[in-house]
Amino acid sequence: MPIVSPTPKLRVDVHQGVARLLIDNGAKRNAFDLDMWRALPPLMAACDSADDVRVVVLSGAPGLPFCSGADISEFSTVRATSGGGRAYEQANVEAFDAISACAKPTIAAISGFCMGGGMGIAAACDLRVAAEGTVFAIPAGRLGVGYPPSAMRYVVTAVGAQRALEMFFTAGRLSAGEALAAGFLSRVIEPDSFERAVDDLAKAIAGNAPLTLRAAKAAIRAAAGLPGAPSMAECEALAAQCFDSADYMEGRAAFLEKRAPKFTGT
């Protein structure tokens, strides 16, 4: 069944095990409004529970940048009071947590620009790749916005404390090369080959054993101390489950027979 979005500004397309969660708010340069923040958790949950999804890619819709952050026009409406601001922050945190908690691998495919809350969305993903020419920034210091501590942990884990402090203190911009050097990105790709490279990466991940990827993600999240990470006992149980799986037998058989394995996630 198709995954239905609560808002037309986010949509999910599934093909060959890859779910593409597309940000499609071109009128606001892909800024996130409150409805979009609230839509992310159910969309991520739907991708996580879908049997035909092996990996989730978050990106701008074709022709649009990744994300310009929060919709500033809502600062004078839904965020006009301290109570409204806290509720908005809670929606942000729940969105970041939903991305991070997805048991399946997630990729942020970033092009154009990645600002403010967009950095938070990308930081909550497992892998981040960007097209050359992409610009990154967190302009909170110029807007008087405070970041919740749990959301800050994603940024600090992704770039380190020193770089996070510099980004927040200066509100300055990073190039894709600088973001790569800071460890925020796993690779930078030429724009002409960006979409193909993202598809190849997603399909390569989708072809591997789902239980192994789930166990690895859980253990790495725990080691990194990310919010909501599973306990060591839970990680050990997930690792043990791999050895009792049909995929483990398939992986061994495929290796001995010198063929590509066909994993089912069981």
With respect to residue 266, please indicate whether it lies within any of the assigned structural domains.
no
Pair 230, 149 in one domain? no
For residues 40 and 150, membership in a common domain is answered with: yes
In a domain, 76, yes or no: yes
Tens of pLDDT, residue by residue over 159-169, are 999 999 999 99
147/116 same-domain check: yes
Asked if residue 146 belongs to a domain, the reply is: yes
Residue 2 counted as domain residue: no
Tell whether 244 is covered by a domain.
Answer: yes
141 and 32 within one domain = yes
Residue 87's CATH number: 3.90.226.10
Report residue 5's pLDDT band, with 50, 70 and 90 as the boundaries: very high
User: CA-to-CA distance for 223 and 231, rounded, in angstroms?
Assistant: 10
Whether residue 214 is found in the same domain as residue 100: no
Over residues 214-234, mean pLDDT:
92
Domain identity same for 189 and 218: no
Best CA proximity match to 263, nearest among 181, 205, 188, 207: 207
Q: Is residue 150 very low, low, confident or very high in pLDDT (cuts 50, 70, 90)?
A: confident
86, containing H or E segment: helix 82-101
109 within some domain: yes
**Structure-block tokens of residue 183:** 């460890």
Same domain, 221 and 138: no
Q: Domain check: are 81 and 19 in the same one?
A: yes
In the chain, pLDDT over 70 holds for what percent of residues? Answer: 96
Residue 73 domain-assigned (yes or no): yes
Give yes or no: residues 40 and 119 share one domain.
Answer: yes
DSSP string, 193-250: GHHHHHHHHHHHHHTS-HHHHHHHHHHHHHHHT-TTPPPHHHHHHHHHHHHTSHHHHH
Last residue of a domain, one of 163, 180, 205: 205
Side-chain-side CA neighbours of residue 40 (13 Å): 32
Q: Which of 108, 130, 12, 129 is nearest to 57 (CA)?
A: 108
Residue 75: pLDDT over 70: no
Per residue in 88-133, pLDDT (tens digit) is 888 999 999 999 999 999 999 999 999 999 999 999 999 999 999 9
Q: Are residues 237 and 129 in the same domain?
A: no
How many domains, in total, are found in the chain? 2
216 within some domain: yes
> pLDDT value at position 87?
82
What pLDDT does residue 86 have? 77
Decide if pLDDT at 149 tops 90: no
Same domain for 49 and 172, yes or no, is: yes
Query: Which of 186, 205, 224 is the last residue before a domain boundary?
Result: 205
* Stated pTM of the model: 0.94
Return d(Cα 65, Cα 245) in angstroms, integer. Answer: 41
Per-residue pLDDT at 80 exceeds 70: no
Q: Tell me, yes or no, whether 163 and 191 share the same domain.
A: yes
Q: Which of 161, 186, 205 is the last residue of a domain?
A: 205
Q: Which amino acid is at 127?
A: L
Q: Whole domain around residue 177: which residue ranges?
A: 10-205
